[in-house]
Amino acid sequence: MNKQILLTLLILSTFCTPIAYGQKPKSKLTVHESIQFETDKIFDKLVQIRRDFHENPELAGKEKRTQEVIKKHLLDLGLQVETEIYGYGVIGILKGDKKGKNIAWRADMDALPNDFPDPSDFKSKVKGVQHGCGHDVHMAVAIGIAEVLAKNKKSLRGTVYFIFQPEEETFIGAKRIAENKKFEQFKLDEIYSLHVTALPAGQIMVKANEMYAYQKEINIRFKNALSGEEIKELTSKIRNSLVRSNNGSKPWEIQSIIDPKIGLANPSTIFKDYLIADEKFRTYSKNDSFHMNAELYETDADKIKNIIPSVEQIIKDSNYGSQLLSVSFIKENPTVLNPPNLTRNSINTLDTIYGKGFITPDYGQVPYFNDDFAYFQQKIPGVYFLLGGSNFEKGITAMNHAPNFEVDEECIRTGVRTFSSLLFERGK
Ligand SMILES: [Zn+2]
Ligand SMILES: [Zn+2]
């Protein structure tokens, strides 16, 4: 390229760029305008980064390549990089030029053991493994925030820790990182995260307290095996007594979460105050006893303690009372719990920057899903958001883990600019 053309291009680019940002020259942009400007500038690159993760998914505990790729991006941005916290986790540390708090952003890294037909042009190259939960998007968003905040380092207060966490799907990674001594030394003040899901792209949703229903697995042990008929009869007795929903609604039909009348965004959503139980219990014989297992989703923490006594009572009152050995929970994971004050502060911060109503209030609790981010929240005050990744006009439905899972990549832009702004403000 000769000098003349280069000069023309430089003039053109300095002339062209500010137009999209209120006719202001770049030096006059406010921090949040600059965040939007930088986000738009790297958006195409972030899409490529996401597609690379999508083509090369790795299961929980095997995120070796993913770790290498993330490490390289973070080092290129000039961040300090720490590994050996747990598994293939990576932490990127960005120090602002001004004093402030220690704020963390968490992205999960692992893919799913799926083999669904993938409609995208950038299909998984690994047979039987797919990014069917959207963690590829989460990593691209986190790398994007790191770049945008690195570009605003001069005005950034405090230190931002980008936690790339392995093994989310197995519910192991967050717990192990959170209890690691090296991690504790970071003395984080606050931690934030998101999950992409089947809301319209561009929508961000949050609520105080539980984002999901409490996920439990109940185990009922008998002395002897029950016949098929007996299992059916007992299952229906237990379900009739436990299952609860709002005015006979069907919160187990999860696709309704986007319905404007009964979905999460409506104050009278059906996704509150319910208990869902598997229709069929899983049965097997082990160690000389017969087991019946079922997954349960309960929205109310207080009501969980009634479940085991009432199941025991139902069985004692049935013909199988003398056969009963025990009733217990074999899965007792914590659930994502957003502290009310910090949630309110985060909503206010973002509504102030991007306009009132920018954050959509969430009135329900999503069944079937959970996130081990809950373990970070047990140690560090933190808020977890839902990021819409669907585009119904384009036929894209981001229902995590479903065979038709797809993401409108525009959500990467929304995620990067919104949460760059939030982390920037929270560091003060
Ligand atoms: Zn998942
Ligand atoms: Zn996930």
For the residues of 143-212, what is the DSSP string, one character each? HHHHHHHHHTGGG-EEEEEEEEE--TTTT-HHHHHHT-HHHHTT--SEEEEEEEEEEETT-EEE-SEESB
* Count of other CB atoms within 10 angstroms of residue 76: 11
Instruction: Give the Å distance between the CA of 56 and the centre of ligand 2.
Output: 17
Indicate left, alpha or beta for 269 from its phi (over 0: left) and psi (-120 to 50: alpha).
beta
Instruction: Give the Å distance between the CA of 319 and the centre of ligand 2.
Output: 42
Question: What's residue 15's pLDDT?
Answer: 37
User: In angstroms, rounded to a whole number, what is the distance separating the alpha carbons of residues 151 and 146?
Assistant: 9
Tokens representing 217? 């697995």
Instruction: Give the Å distance between the CA of 248 and the centre of ligand 2.
Output: 29
Q: Indicate which ligand has the atom closest to the C-alpha of 139.
A: 2
Cβ proximity of 113 and 178 under 8 Å: no
Instruction: Give the Å distance between the CA of 31 and the centre of ligand 2.
Output: 31
Instruction: Give the Å distance between the CA of 220 and the centre of ligand 2.
Output: 29
Instruction: Give the Å distance between the CA of 371 and the centre of ligand 2.
Output: 7
User: In angstroms, rounded to a whole number, what is the distance separating the alpha carbons of residues 239 and 253?
Assistant: 17
Question: What's residue 24's pLDDT?
Answer: 80
Cβ proximity of 416 and 387 under 8 Å: no
Tokens representing 381? 């005050």
Question: What's residue 247's pLDDT?
Answer: 80
Instruction: Give the Å distance between the CA of 118 and the centre of ligand 2.
Output: 18
- Strands of 366-426, DSSP E: 382-390
Question: What's residue 21's pLDDT?
Answer: 63
Instruction: Give the Å distance between the CA of 400 and the centre of ligand 1.
Output: 6
Question: What's residue 22's pLDDT?
Answer: 61
Question: What's residue 120's pLDDT?
Answer: 84
Pairing state of beta strands 157-165 and 324-331?
A: unpaired
Question: What's residue 6's pLDDT?
Answer: 38
Closest C-alpha among 164, 116, 94, 105 to residue 136: 164
Cβ proximity of 50 and 136 under 8 Å: yes
User: In angstroms, rounded to a whole number, what is the distance separating the alpha carbons of residues 316 and 106?
Assistant: 46
Q: How many Cα neighbours within 13 Å face the side chain of 169?
A: 21
Q: Indicate which ligand has the atom closest to the C-alpha of 135.
A: 2
Helix axes 31-55, 135-151, angle to 10 degrees: 140
Q: Give the three-state DSSP class for 99.
A: strand
Closest C-alpha among 325, 347, 349 to residue 338: 347
β-bridge partners, 103: 160, 190
Q: Indicate which ligand has the atom closest to the C-alpha of 386.
A: 2
User: In angstroms, rounded to a whole number, what is the distance separating the alpha carbons of residues 379 and 191?
Assistant: 10
* Count of other CB atoms within 10 angstroms of residue 54: 23
Report the amino acid identity of residue 356.
K
User: In angstroms, rounded to a whole number, what is the distance separating the alpha carbons of residues 330 and 217?
Assistant: 6
**Mean pLDDT of each 10-residue bin along the chain, 428 residues long:** 38 38 79 96 98 98 98 98 97 98 98 90 95 98 98 97 98 97 97 96 96 96 94 95 91 91 95 96 94 96 96 94 95 93 97 95 96 98 98 91 94 98 97
Instruction: Give the Å distance between the CA of 108 and the centre of ligand 1.
Output: 10
Report the amino acid identity of residue 167.
E
Please count the residues of the chain.
428
Alpha-carbon dihedral of residues 307, 312, 318, 324, nearest 10 degrees?
Answer: 140
Q: Indicate which ligand has the atom closest to the C-alpha of 138.
A: 2
Our measurement of the distance from residue 51's CA atom to the centroid of its chain's CA atoms, rounded to an integer in Å, reads 19
Q: 305-312: which pairs have CB atoms within 8 A and are 24 or more residues apart?
A: 307/216, 307/218, 307/242, 308/218, 310/241, 310/242, 311/218, 311/220, 311/238, 311/242
Tokens representing 337? 């719990």
Instruction: Give the Å distance between the CA of 342 and the centre of ligand 2.
Output: 23
Q: Indicate which ligand has the atom closest to the C-alpha of 134.
A: 2
Cβ proximity of 108 and 383 under 8 Å: no
Instruction: Give the Å distance between the CA of 169 and the centre of ligand 1.
Output: 5
Instruction: Give the Å distance between the CA of 211 and the centre of ligand 1.
Output: 15
DSSP 366: B
Closest C-alpha among 93, 107, 94, 95 to residue 46: 107
Q: Indicate which ligand has the atom closest to the C-alpha of 401.
A: 1
CB-neighbour burial class of residue 332 (10 A; exposed 0-12, middle 13-18, buried 19+) = exposed
